[in-house]
Amino acid sequence: MKTNLRLKIGVTLLAIFVLGSLILPYFTHLNPTAQGTYFKNLPVSWKHPLGTNSLGQDIFWVIVFAVRNSLLLGVSVSLIVNLISITLGLTAGYSGGWVDRLIMTLCDSFITIPTLPILIILASLIKGSASFLTIGLILVAFGWAWGARTTRSMALSLREREFVHMARFSGMGHFEIIFKEIFPYVYTYGIVGFINTILYAINTEASLAVIGLSNLSVPTLGSALYWALNYNALFTKQYTWVLSPVVATVLLFLGLFLTSTGYNDLFAARRGRS
Amino acid sequence: MTVIVLKSEHLNKVYSLGSLLRRMKIHALDDVNLEVMSDEPVIISLVGESGSGKTTLAKVLLRVVQPNSGDAIVHDRVVAGDGALVDRHSFLKTVQPIFQNPFEAFSSYRPVDAYLETTAMRINGLSRAEAVELVREALSAVGLKYTDVHEKYPNQFSGGELQRVSVARALIPRPKMIIADEPVSMIDASMRMNVVNLFLSLKNDYKTSFLYITHDLATAYYISDYVAVMYRGCIVEFGSAKDVLASPLHPYTQLLLESIPSVRVKWDRNRFAYSDLETKEFQFVGCKFYNRCPLAKEVCAHQRPQAVLRQDGRSVYCHFV
Amino acid sequence: MIKINNLVATYTTVRGTVTAVDKVNLEIPEGITLGIAGESGCGKTTLLKVLYGDIGFPLSIREGAVEYGMVGDQDEEITTQNIQKYWFRRIAYVPQGSMSSLNPVVRIRAQFLDYMRSGSGQKRMLEEAREYVKSLGLPPEVLDAYPHQLSGGMRQRVMVAMASFIKPDIILADEPTTALDVVVQKGILLLLMELQEKMKSTIFFVSHDMGVHYQIAQKMFIMYAAKGVEYGNAEDVFGNPLHPYTRLLIDSLPAVGDTNLRKGVSGHPPSLWDTLMGCRFADRCPYATEECRAYEPSLREVRPGHFVACHFSERFL
- Cβ within 8 Å of C, A 2-41: 2
- Judged by CB atoms closer than 8 Å, whether chains meet at B50 and C181 is answered as yes
Helix residue ranges, H only, B190-305 = 192-206, 217-223, 241-246, 251-258, 278-283, 298-302
Q: Give CATH superfamily name and number for B3-94+175-284.
A: P-loop containing nucleotide triphosphate hydrolases (3.40.50.300)
Nearest to A166 among B115, B122, B173 (CB): B115
pLDDT tens, B89-128? 888 888 999 998 898 889 888 899 889 998 998 888 888 8
Does A24 map to a domain? no
Which residue from A minimizes the CA distance to C13?
A274
Which residue from A minimizes the CA distance to C14?
A274
Does A22 map to a domain? no
Inter-chain CB pairs, B–C, below 8 Å:
150
Mean model confidence pLDDT for chain C: 86
Which residue from B minimizes the CA distance to A268?
B109
Between A251 and B276, where is the model more confident? A251
Kindly write down the DSSP assignment for every residue of C71-107, as one continuous string: B-TTSPBP-TTTGGGGBTTTEEEE-S-HHHHS-TTS-
The answer to whether A274 faces chain C, any CB pair under 8 Å, is yes
Q: What is the pLDDT of residue B98?
A: 94
Work out the minimum CA distance from B262 to partner chain A, whole angstroms.
32
Q: What is the pLDDT of residue C238?
A: 92
Q: What is the pLDDT of residue C29?
A: 92
Work out the minimum CA distance from C15 to partner chain A, whole angstroms.
7
The helix-helix angle for A239-270 and A2-23 (nearest 10°) equals 130
Break chain B into its structural domains and give their ranges: 3-94+175-284
Helix (H, G, I), strand (E, B) or coil at B98: strand
Residues of B in contact with C255 (CB under 8 A): 218, 221, 260, 262-264
Task: Check which CATH number belongs to the domain holding A94 and give it.
Answer: 1.10.3720.10
Q: What is the pLDDT of residue A142?
A: 85
Which residue from A minimizes the CA distance to C15?
A274
Average pLDDT over residues A217-239: 78
Nearest to A162 among B92, B99, B155 (CB): B99
pTM value is 0.80
Q: What is the pLDDT of residue C151?
A: 79
- Judged by CB atoms closer than 8 Å, whether chains meet at B119 and A170 is answered as yes
Q: What is the pLDDT of residue A274?
A: 37
Which residue from C minimizes the CA distance to A3?
C14
Residues of B in contact with C210 (CB under 8 A): 189-190, 263
The answer to whether A181 faces chain B, any CB pair under 8 Å, is yes
Contact partners of A by the rule of 3+ C-beta pairs under 8 A? B, C
Mean model confidence pLDDT for chain B: 86
pLDDT band at C259 (very low <50, low <70, confident <90, very high): low
Q: CB neighbours (10 Å) of residue A39?
A: 9
Does A206 map to a domain? yes
Q: What is the pLDDT of residue C137?
A: 82
Which residue from B minimizes the CA distance to A158?
B107
Nearest to B119 among A162, A165, A171 (CB): A171
Residues of B in contact with A170 (CB under 8 A): 115, 118-119, 122-123, 169
CA distance B102 to B105: 5
Residues of B in contact with A181 (CB under 8 A): 107, 110
Residue A34, pLDDT above cutoff 80: no
CA distance A73 to A201: 7
Ranges A206-215, A255-264, B137-146, C241-250: which has the least confidence: A206-215
CA distance C154 to C159: 9
CA distance B232 to B32: 11
- Judged by CB atoms closer than 8 Å, whether chains meet at C255 and B160 is answered as no
- Judged by CB atoms closer than 8 Å, whether chains meet at C184 and B49 is answered as yes
The answer to whether A180 faces chain B, any CB pair under 8 Å, is yes
Residue A206, pLDDT above cutoff 80: no
The answer to whether A96 faces chain B, any CB pair under 8 Å, is no
Work out the minimum CA distance from A151 to partner chain C, whole angstroms.
25
Residue C121, pLDDT above cutoff 50: yes
- Judged by CB atoms closer than 8 Å, whether chains meet at C186 and B190 is answered as no
CA distance B201 to B223: 10
Ranges A136-140, A210-214, B23-27: which has the least confidence: A210-214
Between C246 and A210, where is the model more confident? C246
Helix residue ranges, H only, A160-238 = 162-169, 174-177, 183-210, 221-230
Q: What is the pLDDT of residue C253?
A: 83
Average pLDDT over residues B207-214: 93
Does ipTM come in above 0.95?
no
Question: Is the CA virtual torsion C283, C289, C295, C297 positive or negative?
Answer: negative
Between C173 and A40, where is the model more confident? C173
Nearest to A172 among B118, B156, B170 (CB): B118
Work out the minimum CA distance from A104 to partner chain C, whole angstroms.
28
Residue A42, pLDDT above cutoff 80: no
Which residue from A minimizes the CA distance to B167?
A166
User: Which among C263, C313, C307 is positioned nearest to C287, based on CA atoms?
Assistant: C313
Q: What is the pLDDT of residue A242?
A: 82
Residues of C in contact with A274 (CB under 8 A): 14-15
Between B286 and C201, where is the model more confident? C201
Q: What is the pLDDT of residue B258?
A: 85
Nearest to B104 among A161, A185, A272 (CB): A161
Work out the minimum CA distance from B299 to partner chain A, whole angstroms.
42
Residues 6+ apart with CB under 8 A from A31: A37
Which residue from A minimizes the CA distance to C16?
A274
CA distance B220 to B182: 11
Amino acid making up residue C152: G
Average pLDDT over residues C212-241: 92
Work out the minimum CA distance from C225 to partner chain B, whole angstroms.
15
Ranges A54-58, B213-217, C87-91, C180-184: which has the least confidence: A54-58
Helix residue ranges, H only, B4-110 = 54-61, 88-92
Work out the minimum CA distance from C14 to partner chain A, whole angstroms.
8
CA distance B227 to B232: 17
Q: What is the pLDDT of residue C172?
A: 93
Helix (H, G, I), strand (E, B) or coil at C168: coil
Residues of A in contact with B109 (CB under 8 A): 184-185, 271
Q: What is the pLDDT of residue A269?
A: 63
Output the CA angle A248-A249-A252, nearest 5 degrees.
85
* Number of separate domains in chain A: 1
Between C103 and A56, where is the model more confident? C103
User: Which among A205, A215, A217 is positioned nearest to A126, based on CA atoms?
Assistant: A215
Average pLDDT over residues C96-121: 76
Nearest to B155 among A169, A181, A273 (CB): A273
Residues of C in contact with A2 (CB under 8 A): 14
Residues 6+ apart with CB under 8 A from B173: A171, B92, B93, B96, B119, B123, B124
Residues of B in contact with C198 (CB under 8 A): none
The answer to whether C184 faces chain B, any CB pair under 8 Å, is yes
The answer to whether A272 faces chain B, any CB pair under 8 Å, is yes
pLDDT tens, C142-170? 888 888 888 778 888 888 888 888 888 99
pLDDT band at C307 (very low <50, low <70, confident <90, very high): very high
CA distance B96 to B74: 11
Work out the minimum CA distance from A36 to partner chain C, whole angstroms.
57
CA distance C150 to C134: 16
Which residue from C minimizes the CA distance to A273?
C15
Work out the minimum CA distance from C164 to partner chain B, whole angstroms.
18
pLDDT tens, B181-198? 999 888 888 888 888 889
Work out the minimum CA distance from A265 to partner chain C, whole angstroms.
13
Average pLDDT over residues B292-298: 83
The answer to whether C284 faces chain B, any CB pair under 8 Å, is no
pLDDT tens, B48-91? 887 788 888 999 998 888 888 888 888 888 888 777 776 888 88
